[in-house]
Structure 1
Amino acid sequence: MPRLPPAEKLPLAARKNLRDEWDSKKGELEKKLSDLLGVAWTVEVDPKALFPYAEEGSYGNHSPGNLITEYIEGAHSQLSYIIGRTGGEIYKTDLNDLAHAHVIAFDYTDDSSVYYNGAVVNEQGQLVIVFRENALGTNISSALEEGKLKKALQTAPSTKPLNFHARLSLAEDYEPKIAELQAKFSKLLNTDITLNNNAEANFAKLNGAEGIDSDWDQGFGRTLFSYFEGLYSQLEYNKFGSDDMLQEALVEEVSAKKIEIRVLDEIKASYHEVAIEDGILYIQTAPKKWAYNASYAGEKIMDLL
């Protein structure tokens, strides 16, 4: 369906409903959104532009004010749930960064991947609630549910070095656990060890690489953690924690006391390998081998010593 021109004038009943059920509540709803997101957000909606998409006799046709209010209340409810979960702060941070205009707007879309409604971040930095043909007012409360918000942030114009999927995975699957694992490495080897995932460089190497799984970025943080966890398990299995000779041999070679992950164009091993350069212990893999058997990272560690 082609985009429809705005209505020249709304019926009196529709104008009254807008005044009573949207205009009178707009400020309060904007404040709730702003309090939740930590910065001032506003809602920009042109009822005349929305009205032509409301079928005769539909909710949006006779109660456009209620319709808009329910969309914004639904957006607030969905955002509250998402942000309140463990790791949900990444949604708040990225929403404020990527939707930098801090505006919620509405628009029609003919995007066939949108079912009823969804969201996009446009070039102007607005978070836009979009709706399909004959779907204005359908499933109102779901317009900003997590999957739809995630898609909006993933596809938003961005200059960030990592896409949203990768940042989300780091926030949920890597950052909450890495300090504890680093402490375990230090205890096992009886010296302070630093873990460095080289996230930005590795993402750049993987992004768009030939042969990599299409959804690799959604598990980016989990995979990075698995490589470090796999190496720890191999060190533990080989008794580094209880053998002073093994500890001293490894620490002597890894003089920088750093363990890092790096993605190379190619490696000789089947899935991953370990190498020591300039006093740094590297867990190495290649794009086509990314994430495969990560739990066995470091299985050849004894060969280095």
Structure 2
Amino acid sequence: MLTTTGLSLATRKNIRDEFQNKIPELQKTLNKLTGSDYEFHVDFATLHDESARANSAQAQWYKSSMGQIAYQYFESLVGNIKRVAENDDLVRSDFIKVTSKREIHLVNDSEISGDNDLEIVDGVIYIKVRPGHLGYNASVGYYILNYVKADDEVLPLRTKINIRDGWELKVPGVKKTLKKVLGEDYDFVVNFDEIYTQAIKERPDYLDWFSSSLGDIVYGYFDSLKGYIERYAEKDELVRNELLKLTTTRKIHLVYDSDLETNELLEVKDDAFWIKTRPKDFGSSTSIGYYLVDRVKDPDSALPLRTKVDVRDEWELKVPALKKRLKSSLGEDYGFEVDLDEIYSQIIKANKSQHDWYTRSLGSITCSYFDSLVSNIEKTASDDLARNEFLEATSSRTFHLVLDTEVASYNDVEIENGDLYIKVEPKNFGYNVYVGSEISKKIKAPGSAFPLETKLNVRNEWELKIPALKKKLKEAVGEDYEFVVNFEELLNVGIAKNDSDASWLKRSLGEIVYQYYGALIENVVKVAKDDDLVREGFLEVTGEKKIHLVYDSDCENNCDLQVVNDAIYIKVKPGSLGRDSYYVGHNIVDIL
């Protein structure tokens, strides 16, 4: 409908020639696009008068060109409608739906801030011009998609377009990748209406971004998760099987969760993947899934998936090499027993601050304990005596890693009933993985009187040195002498009488005994080698040719020397073994 009442002939002529005669072509274009006839409404009389009053300097221009000016607005609008709707069924159908009155009006509106604006109200399109600015900028409708929104729908048309182009058209590629990696089809669950409504409510300043990019944003979350699933699961059967086991619904949800402590979070629960984000953070970062392996945990297992992966890679795959090293050193096959479910449960309770470390490193920590132990066994087992003792002591051929709250230090090694146990205090698990440096102290073969460290010391510091000592004595006195020592009695009584000496006596028994004999022989050689009288006297009173080392509770000193029944006795006060041994024999001439 056109109103020209009261306008000059020149103005009416321009309206006829430059507007009325050209409008049918624009209407034809719209009809071709929509299948409907649209009416163009202009109250030229009011439009002219208001524009001339608001901008008197352009009164003559308005008078001579009113039709031409008005036509430019409609031409621009129809051109932009054609641009966005001609090849897009979604745009075309929504445009038809929201312009149900099939009317386009050109009006003045003093409330708008720019030269012009566009509005669709109650099925009618309004081209609005600021009074006095008519004709200054007739380009209108370039952003028409921003104005198309059905009253009974939540999403504007441009949002629906982005969901289609930025989400729906791309989703098949994501699903195809997931099918390739996991071997199953997954459905994506997104309530776009709810996502959009909450997003613009929480961050109204971002309305334009959410409206134009909602599909792209949502796609970003799913594409990121797809990438990390591909990264972690494509070549890892353990990860793949765990994901499939815990997502039996084969669904991935995107939802809001205002209680999150971080911007976004991935959870695997209720048999599905859940991408969660806070409404106020929606779209800020769509990177999701980096911690995928950390978030997956089978409710029926104590270990999260991240821990299982570390156990496999850093423990199970390294066990064969550890066993091979043991076989090479000991000549026997050994097994390892570790209840990692139980260990994990206890250590995260005992040391909550290290939860993440234990979750990521349980396997590598476990391997470190055994690797350290094996290294120290290799050093010890290079000795035939030590190797044989170890084999006899560990008859079950099994090593265990267990937690023990009674362990005084970071860790300890015990051999019990043929099994070797690495014992670790729960709160110190992983802090010091150096194990077995004193393994010889722990090895004691069944039925043996001594631990291995004592046997090694007796051999190295006594048995291997005695031949030279006996030779030295023979060179001095001309006869062979027997050294009589009950090492078992010496050790047991020594410990019983002075428990504080236990560690020293065990590691130094051979050396201690040798010091007594060494001091005695040194003094005998000193007085007898070049003195026939002394030498003959020594041989005469020691006809048994024996030198004993014994305990005697009647000793007045820490140690004494006596000749009894033609034999020499080095007597030691119980509890004083090893003390003043260098004095033995200084009075040898006096006792002969």
CA distance, structure 1, for counterparts of residue 223 and residue 359 of structure 2: 32
Matched, 1:301 2:444: no
CA distance, structure 2, for counterparts of residue 212 and residue 112 of structure 1: 21
Q: 1:134 aligns with which of 250, 255, 280?
A: 280
Paired letter, 1:43: F
Q: What are the equivalent positions in structure 2 for 1:235-250 lying under 5 Å apart? A: 235-238=377-380, 240=381, 242-250=382-390
Gaps of 5+ in 2: 1-151, 201-205, 445-592
In structure 1, the partner of 2:232 is: 82
Deviation at 1:103, TM superposition (A): 1.6
In the superposition, the TM-score normalised over structure 2's length comes to: 0.44
Distance 1:213 1:72, change over 3 A: closer
Q: Contact 2:156/2:211 (CA < 8 Å) preserved in 1?
A: no
In structure 2, the partner of 1:253 is: 393
Q: What are the equivalent positions in structure 2 for 1:109-258 lying under 5 Å apart? A: 109-115=257-263, 117-122=264-269, 124-140=270-286, 142-145=287-290, 147=291, 149-153=292-296, 158-209=299-350, 213-214=354-355, 215-238=357-380, 240=381, 242-258=382-398
CA distance, structure 1, for counterparts of residue 208 and residue 271 of structure 2: 31
Deviation at 1:266, TM superposition (A): 2.0
Q: Contact 1:71/1:143 (CA < 8 Å) preserved in 2?
A: yes
CA distance, structure 1, for counterparts of residue 185 and residue 414 of structure 2: 50
CA distance, structure 1, for counterparts of residue 353 and residue 216 of structure 2: 47
Matched, 1:277 2:416: yes
Q: 1:286 aligns with which of 425, 448, 467?
A: 425
Deviation at 1:112, TM superposition (A): 4.8
The CA deviation string for residues 197-255 of structure 1, in whole angstroms up to 9 with x for no partner, is: 221232233341368844433321111111101101211232x0x33332222122212
In structure 2, the partner of 1:39 is: 184
The alignment of Structure 1 onto Structure 2 pairs a total of residues equal to 286
Distance 1:61 1:135, change over 3 A: farther
Distance 1:9 1:89, change over 3 A: same
CA distance, structure 2, for counterparts of residue 76 and residue 210 of structure 1: 34
Distance 1:276 1:121, change over 3 A: same
Between 209-218 and 49-58, report the one with greater CA deviation.
209-218
Per the alignment, in what secondary structure is the counterpart of residue 201 of structure 1? helix
Deviation at 1:16, TM superposition (A): 3.3
In structure 2, the partner of 1:26 is: 171
The CA deviation string for residues 61-114 of structure 1, in whole angstroms up to 9 with x for no partner, is: 2233333333222222233233468xx555434333333433211011223521
Between 223-232 and 7-16, report the one with greater CA deviation.
7-16
Gaps of 5+ in 1: 1-6
More helix by share: 2
RMSD (Å), alpha carbons: 2.7
Q: Contact 1:211/1:288 (CA < 8 Å) preserved in 2?
A: no
Matched, 1:96 2:236: no
Paired letter, 2:295: A
Identity in percent: 23
Q: Contact 1:211/1:287 (CA < 8 Å) preserved in 2?
A: no
CA distance, structure 2, for counterparts of residue 256 and residue 188 of structure 1: 17
In structure 1, the partner of 2:403 is: 263
In the superposition, the TM-score normalised over structure 1's length comes to: 0.82
Deviation at 1:39, TM superposition (A): 3.1
